[in-house]
């Protein structure tokens, strides 16, 4: 085991040794949309086991270990993820909401746990993935013909191009007043959200999607039970914003817009 004086140094060394993440799982989804059209969707993804297999050896070789457990924040179940450093008391920590569709179905709750664990690890270690295995956690409605109702493939957002003035930079996500800041960790979270939204807006412009429709799609995807007028993108976690940006990036690649 290599000894590094700080957790940052250990993580740099580990990231250089991470193995490629193999996307060896497939989800197929089919059905009939509300417009009566049949659809068939296929998602390829790397599951939690593949992610752990790719990163665990390099983490251990550099004195790092990931610990995850369930917790509750603001009345909502979350996955608490901690990156521990064997050679110092330094740690990295995050809290990822557990989202699942059917509150009475333990299997879907278990799928939500797996989904949140995987994205928490990927976000903490700066890993990249395009597709997700969240079907058991949150089952989206079938894709619609209009952009603002699409929840199947994110490419539905690119079906209609609009000639509207570019909106100002995201206003939902702004740094809170100094009195509400909670030290460096809170500042880092705000900055991460701002960075994720800058990426989302750049991809949205590339796809030619209206910002209001984009916001509504994000609400339908992550907070479907919340009223439209109550929803702001600041409510979404860093992991959710990163995931959404990955989906937009995948849509742009499919359209050859990179």
* pTM > 0.85: no
As a whole number of angstroms, the distance between CA 131 and CA 219 comes to 19
Of 176, 173, 163, the C-alpha closest to 198 is: 173
Facing residues of 64 across strands? Answer: 85
Residue scoring higher pLDDT (232 or 82): 82
Give the C-alpha distances (Å, rounded to integers) separating 20 from 24, 103, 124, 132. 12, 35, 17, 17
**How far apart (Å, rounded) are the C-alpha atoms in residues 20 and 17?**
9
Q: Are 219 and 174 in contact (CB under 8 A)?
A: no
Question: With 70 as the cut, is the pLDDT of residue 180 above it?
Answer: no
The whole-number average pLDDT for the span 124-146 is 55
pLDDT attached to residue 187: 59
Mean pLDDT of the region 216-227? 87
* Alpha carbons 129 and 100: distance in angstroms, whole number: 20
Report d(CA 232, CA 176) in Å as an integer. Answer: 14
Q: What proportion of the chain, given as a percentage, has pLDDT over 90?
A: 25
Q: What is the DSSP secondary structure assignment for residue 9, as one 8-state letter?
A: H
Average pLDDT over residues 89-93: 94
Q: What is the mean pLDDT of residues 50-69?
A: 94
pLDDT band of 16, cuts 50, 70, 90: very high
Give the closest residue to 157 by CA, choosing from 101, 215, 243.
215
Predicted confidence (pLDDT) at residue 184 exceeds the cutoff of 90: no
């Amino acid at each position: 085991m290599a000894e590094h004086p700080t957790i940052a140094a250990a993580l740099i060394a580990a990231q250089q040794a991470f193995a490629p993440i193999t996307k060896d799982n497939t989800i197929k989804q089919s059905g009939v949309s509300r417009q009566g059209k049949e659809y068939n969707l296929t998602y390829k993804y790397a599951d939690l086991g593949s992610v752990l297999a790719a990163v665990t050896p390099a983490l251990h070789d550099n004195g790092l270990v990931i610990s995850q457990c369930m917790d509750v924040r603001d009345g909502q179940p979350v996955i608490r993820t901690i990156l521990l450093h064997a050679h110092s008391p330094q740690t990295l920590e995050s809290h990822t909401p557990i989202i699942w569709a059917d509150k009475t179905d333990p299997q879907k709750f278990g799928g939500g746990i797996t989904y949140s664990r995987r994205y928490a690890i990927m976000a903490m270690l700066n890993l990249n993935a395009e597709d997700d295995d969240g079907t058991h956690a949150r089952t989206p409605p079938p894709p619609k013909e209009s952009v603002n109702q699409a929840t199947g493939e994110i490419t539905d957002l690119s079906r209609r191009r609009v000639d509207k003035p570019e909106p100002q930079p995201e206003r939902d996500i702004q740094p809170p007043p100094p009195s509400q800041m909670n030290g460096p960790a809170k500042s880092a979270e705000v900055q991460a959200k701002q960075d994720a939204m800058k990426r989302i807006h750049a991809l949205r412009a590339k796809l030619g999607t209206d910002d209001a429709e984009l916001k509504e799609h994000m609400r339908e995807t992550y907070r479907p039970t919340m009223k439209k007028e109550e929803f702001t993108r600041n409510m979404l976690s860093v992991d959710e914003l990163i995931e959404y940006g990955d989906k937009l990036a995948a849509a742009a690649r499919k359209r050859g817009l990179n």
